[in-house]
Chain A
């Protein structure tokens, strides 16, 4: 079945550092790709998405580009802030069986120190 592999971390950075969280996927067909974020004490929130190859999703300074040739959707941010500390999940939409269920990576915990 479809699967998502992301670097598990934890990742610890200083404020204003550059962030990359790697995500690769295995899928039949052409899934949509997502990054979700879970801030401490809060629920999962959609951060950004891309629905087809070469699309770039962006939000709150974060970006990720859907790379079909490398089956990747790496998350990047040029300058992280303390408020970005959270757990980040890469996910794809699996349309097998008729549902649009999400298949998640195991999550990457990011801690940003001042």
Chain B
């Protein structure tokens, strides 16, 4: 389809394992965002990529979280040594340029459950 695609849609893993979440943005969109949606904290910004610029990582909650974006398109969010508090829905969004007048288009998210 033409929207933002995230995989997997659901992920259940044991505490201490590493996980990788994938995001395919809308074709041609240069800006890509990761957010986390959890019951206690609502929707929180994690990281932002824009073209070839250095990413804004100011929202990453700890050094266990990292993300990369290869070739200006697909992005992977990696969580190392997962903890139960990492359980949440991880949302990816993209926009055509990252400016305020360009709406962010969201994927359906990956629901991560840490046992």
Return the CB mask of B4-48 against A: 1 if under 8 Å, else 0: 100000000000000000000000000101010000001111001
B35 CB, nearest partner CB in chain A, Å: 8
A100 touching B58 by the CB < 8 A rule? no
B63 CB, nearest partner CB in chain A, Å: 18
Q: How far is the CA of A36 from the CA of B37 in the complex (A)?
A: 14
B106 at the interface (CB under 8 A from A): yes
Q: How far is the CA of A42 from the CA of B100 in the complex (A)?
A: 24
Say whether, besides A93-B100, A98-B56, A44 and B42 are in contact (CB < 8 Å).
Answer: no
B56 touching A89 by the CB < 8 A rule? no
Interface band, chain B = 20 to 34
Tally of contact residues, A, Cβ under 8 A: 27
Return the CB mask of A28-44 against B: 1 if under 8 Å, else 0: 00011010100000111
Say whether, besides A43-B91, A44-B106, A89-B43, A101 and B59 are in contact (CB < 8 Å).
Answer: yes
Say whether, besides A43-B107, A46-B103, A101 and B42 are in contact (CB < 8 Å).
Answer: no
Return the CB mask of B78-98 against A: 1 if under 8 Å, else 0: 000000000000010101001
Say whether, besides A44-B91, A99-B56, A101-B56, A32 and B100 are in contact (CB < 8 Å).
Answer: yes
A43 touching B43 by the CB < 8 A rule? no
A20 at the interface (CB under 8 A from B): no
CB nearest to B106 among chain A residues:
A44
CB nearest to A44 among chain B residues:
B106
Which positions in A face B, CB cutoff 8 Å? Answer: 31-32, 34, 36, 42-46, 49, 51, 89, 91, 93-95, 97-107
